[in-house]
Structure 1
């Protein structure tokens, strides 16, 4: 069962934190992994909130859903994460109704991304909402909204230059390595974590820098072995992580462990290292940066690397907003018509109820004649007129509005002037 607020757009909220007010360390404390996401959805359903989904990426943690009070959404997130709920409330933003809908369009199209036009976010939204739907927590409203956002994202990508050029965290890593490591072809690179971010970063390094001296380490060795086999790279079992860290010159960390797995102890007697932590939460202990022979860079620092295509993307923002505005108007029209459909169905049910009662009363009467349909119909019509007239008499301050509406609906042609 859903709460009575569920169909009221005013009770649709988004609560979240993102890169604009929080650093990666704080975002990491509120990141939600798949297991936590499942528990959160179970908690939501337990309190009859079954139209909810969570978007947790390296740049944001946001929860979307219907609730009497947005604080209910805050509590769902905080119960599953390690962060302080008061801190989340202080740093978070809350949007409701049409503002919440507009925000989702902007997030889904890369307009709200740390790197403008980032197209990866739409895939993350698709994954997050699919998971919510599989667990019974995505209702008709949000499913329709997500489909509209997916469509708009595709249109903006195809019809504007908002996502043109190559600007992403993976490519920012390439730019960083270009500037910091001119002799990179002679360096040994280690990737820890062969998930999507790790794979994309590796592909970018190979494509743009021509590097092939890359070793892959993943908790599930078969994942590393498969990717290594596809691209002619070396892999090693997770049990050999310490040795591989010792041997590498450049270390890319893109794992998703809840706690840091790369520690100062790994580098006590090592050579100089450049470590790039692409993980949220961080998978490299911050104390590693205190070592004089180690340089540690995280995703926030990477995202500050600007590409020349960003200026061109900025020129495309008005076009993107125009496309969003058009499709958001269509979505809101659908929402209003959906509400009208509910009312019309209720009217139909009321008419059916009157009809059934009238027929039953006639059947119970000794004078009932099955063929006297005209008389029965007349009585039903009169009962409807009585209902409307009673409402008009009762609501005297709105009587003119009611009469005008009835006149318009039934197209009577009566001039009320």
Structure 2
């Protein structure tokens, strides 16, 4: 059964800090290698979710250990470090965990709606490598639908709370006259862009220099927002002369060190990257504040209280979609039996048993087809209710269909036998 072989193994912010999670972050190259290795091991349906708050592998496999070994084979961290910190979910518990993650209930910041987009990308990447089967695709689509329903029907993701916005809150608390400060923002991906917008919209920041490995991408955002850019090669020089440096890249390790910040004066450094892209040594620089995503997630906000009150509504919506998926899975298990029953009903007029009742094939083919559809629909309903075993439901469907053909005149009595079919069935 696919449900029993569905496993989730991972680590998240609850038991690990950014330094540990960074060891198990997965880039696209490693992700592609992992999927190729999985197929070589006969694991053909899986994906990996790697974000700043978690790294999880979702897959249909003989064991969780196999998935854990796969994940660690393509990350900097090893299995000995991973195992004591990891959690494992299987079967129904794994499915429920998937829904909670996709809906933002398991996020470091409750109601984080960005997570569902990250999952979509992870599933899309795996599907492009032929690693998503019908079960995992249906499960994922149902989880996405659930997330959307919660977004539309509750306030779980209401208000403005995210890592990018938490950085703004932090700056408000720790920096005065902020609109006149000199900013350097390194990394212009989604988080970098959102942070940049927040700096302008909420803090009135004007002096912002964007730095990105792809200078063309930085230029597009700079043109949109009226900002400056600097080449990546000037990262250290620009950071040294800035009051506030925000790093939101996906580099595999630190790109900014204490020795790069060789000027004097107060400096705030915000690292929104996992793994860390600002070396921890900068804390030893005088008049320096360094914070990362874990620090920012601890900031309290009234919005979070509102979101917490929405959790029961979200759980109720999740339950309804879980039931929908359960019904789909139950029907999927019954498909072979339903197909066999349909074929039997189509062939019944040619079988020896039916002919032994001295009946002829029906004259009205359209009516016969409708009768078969009705019988199969009734069979599906019975099997979904689980009130009968598949075998009993199958036999009862055949019996009901024969009675129906006789009572409605769909099957014609042979001329050499005047007795009714009903009497022959007793």
Q: Shorter-normalised TM-score: what interval?
A: 0.7 to 0.9
CA distance in 2, matches of 1:200, 1:242: 23
Post-superposition offset of 1:295: 1.6
Over aligned residue pairs, what C-alpha RMSD do you find? 2.4
1:70 equivalent among 60, 64, 72: 64
Q: Which residue of 2 aligns with 1:377?
A: 351
Q: How far does the alpha carbon of each residue in 1:241-260 deviate from its partner, in whole angstroms, 9 at most, with x for none?
A: 12101110100011111121
CA distance in 2, matches of 1:176, 1:381: 83
Post-superposition offset of 1:11: 0.4
Q: How far does the alpha carbon of each residue in 1:10-68 deviate from its partner, in whole angstroms, 9 at most, with x for none?
A: 00011111111111110110011111111111111111211101110000001101001
Post-superposition offset of 1:349: 7.8
**2:108 aligned with 1:127, yes or no?**
no
CA spacing shift, 1:90–1:347, aligned 2, 3 Å: farther
CA distance in 1, matches of 2:66, 2:306: 41
CA distance in 1, matches of 2:122, 2:355: 51
CA distance in 1, matches of 2:197, 2:132: 35
TM-score (norm 2): 0.82
CA spacing shift, 1:136–1:309, aligned 2, 3 Å: same
2:40 equivalent among 36, 46, 50: 46
CA distance in 2, matches of 1:128, 1:11: 20
**2:149 aligned with 1:155, yes or no?**
yes
Post-superposition offset of 1:230: 0.6
| Contact kept in structure 1, 2:139 and 2:325, CA below 8 Å | yes
| Contact kept in structure 1, 2:99 and 2:143, CA below 8 Å | yes
1:248 equivalent among 233, 242, 257: 242
Post-superposition offset of 1:403: 7.9
CA distance in 2, matches of 1:406, 1:120: 47
Q: Which residue of 2 aligns with 1:14?
A: 8
Gaps of 5+ in 1: 1-6, 356-372, 383-399
Post-superposition offset of 1:150: 1.2
Post-superposition offset of 1:348: 6.7
CA distance in 2, matches of 1:350, 1:377: 9
Q: Which residue of 2 aligns with 1:315?
A: 309
In the alignment of these two chains, the number of paired residues is 371
**2:233 aligned with 1:259, yes or no?**
no
CA distance in 2, matches of 1:129, 1:156: 20
Post-superposition offset of 1:345: 3.6
Matches within 5 A, 1:131-280: 131-280=125-274
Q: How far does the alpha carbon of each residue in 1:130-189 deviate from its partner, in whole angstroms, 9 at most, with x for none?
A: 111111111111111111111111111111111111110011011000010121112100
CA distance in 2, matches of 1:87, 1:116: 27
CA distance in 1, matches of 2:336, 2:98: 26
Gaps of 5+ in 2: 357-387, 404-421
